[in-house]
Amino acid sequence: MNVGIIGLGLIGGSMAIDLRRRGFADGIAGVESDSVNAAAAVKIGLVDRILTLEECVAESDIIVLAVPVGAAVKMLPQVLDLFAAGEGKCRKVVMDVCSTKENLSKTAHYHPVRQRYVATHPMAGTEYSGPWAAMPGLFDGRACIICNQEESDPSAVHLVEKLYDCLNMRPIYMNAASHDVHAAYVSHISHITSFALALTVLDKEKNEKHIFDLASGGFSSTVRLAKSNADMWVPIFSQNRDNVLKVIDTYIEKMNDFRKAIADFDEDGIRSLIEDANRIKRIIR
């Protein structure tokens, strides 16, 4: 199986590592607009070679679109156009791995070869980016969302399921709109709270040495996502604007509940908020 990966960052690169070493991919070609990242991806051995989009689509059986969602919305129709322009019935598959799904799904909805596209979101990542952030085993044991699968050919969905099975991921099926709601509620808001925490600490604590000294493991863990890359996150927040705004509003309410209980010396109120929050233990180990 020839795999083409468009965008050789953390996700694309980590997929390349496991798809190759676990035997899913015989050859892997990459498309990468950043020349430094492209050269690094070849040197590290993530991909065999860098191609243009056209060459990559021509040579690959399955194409993974692993660019930020703003770029993916532009490139998905280009890939589908290349599929449609090919000779005979197209058997190739394109999948994306972006964190918002509704916009992408709308973009492809009326395309004549829409059914060769499978919308997915593997729930894995780190706060690092670039080909040097790629790592083996990133996806092991995590969930992978497959959206609007009824709009894709069963054979295309099946191939994508095989790919994710090779990555040891557990598939979950959902429509694109509810994916975006749930992703805002769980994943997107935690990035925003972390960015806001970093901004707060950097603003209040001008002496960086103090931050370093007073940071226990807890602070590092809570602020970790604030290292995340703007290229990836700006289009996510834009494309999932309405859902993200709703969850920010709820978050600000909860923060104000805390503020009021502390301001009022209401120890029972603080205790009850903390104990309510502790229920997260039942879900996250």
* 158-187 residues near a second copy, rule: CB under 8 A: 172, 182-183, 185-187
- Report in angstroms how near the CB of residue 75 gets to a second copy at its nearest: 18
- Report in angstroms how near the CB of residue 120 gets to a second copy at its nearest: 13
- Report in angstroms how near the CB of residue 139 gets to a second copy at its nearest: 10
- CB of 70 or CB of 77, closer to a second copy: 70
Interacting stretch for a second copy, rule CB under 8 A, among 10-18, 109-117, 156-164, 270-278? 270-278
The neighbour count for residue 105, using CB atoms within 10 Å, is 22
Contacts of 127 (CB under 8 A, 6+ apart): 224, 225, 226, 227, 228
Contacts of 187 (CB under 8 A, 6+ apart): 99, 123
What string marks each residue from 220 to 259 as x (binds a second copy by CB under 8 A) or -? xxxxxxxxxxx--xxx-xx--x--xxxxxxxxx-xxxxxx
Nearest to 46 by CA among 164, 130, 151: 130
Examine residue 87 and tell whether it contacts a second copy (CB under 8 A): no
- Name which of residues 120 to 149 contact a second copy (CB under 8 A): 123-127, 142-143, 145
**Can you read off the two tokens belonging to residue 171?**
């598939």
- CB of 35 or CB of 278, closer to a second copy: 278
- Report in angstroms how near the CB of residue 32 gets to a second copy at its nearest: 21
Distance of CA 224 to the CA centre of its chain: 16
- Name which of residues 21 to 80 contact a second copy (CB under 8 A): none
Contacts of 139 (CB under 8 A, 6+ apart): 14, 15, 18, 122, 124, 164, 167, 168, 169
Please work out the total of residues on this chain that contact a second copy, with binding judged by CB under 8 A. Answer: 93
- CB of 61 or CB of 161, closer to a second copy: 161
- Signed CA dihedral, 79, 55, 25, 123: sign only: negative
- CB of 71 or CB of 270, closer to a second copy: 270
Residue type, 213: D
Nearest to 83 by CA among 126, 121, 106, 53: 53
Nearest to 66 by CA among 23, 27, 18, 99: 99
- CB of 150 or CB of 203, closer to a second copy: 203
- Report in angstroms how near the CB of residue 98 gets to a second copy at its nearest: 14
- CB of 22 or CB of 227, closer to a second copy: 227
**Can you read off the two tokens belonging to residue 181?**
């709601």
CA separation for the pair 139, 157 (Å, rounded)? 19
- CB of 116 or CB of 121, closer to a second copy: 121
- Report in angstroms how near the CB of residue 231 gets to a second copy at its nearest: 9
**Can you read off the two tokens belonging to residue 141?**
């044991």
- Report in angstroms how near the CB of residue 221 gets to a second copy at its nearest: 5
- CB of 49 or CB of 142, closer to a second copy: 142
- Report in angstroms how near the CB of residue 76 gets to a second copy at its nearest: 20
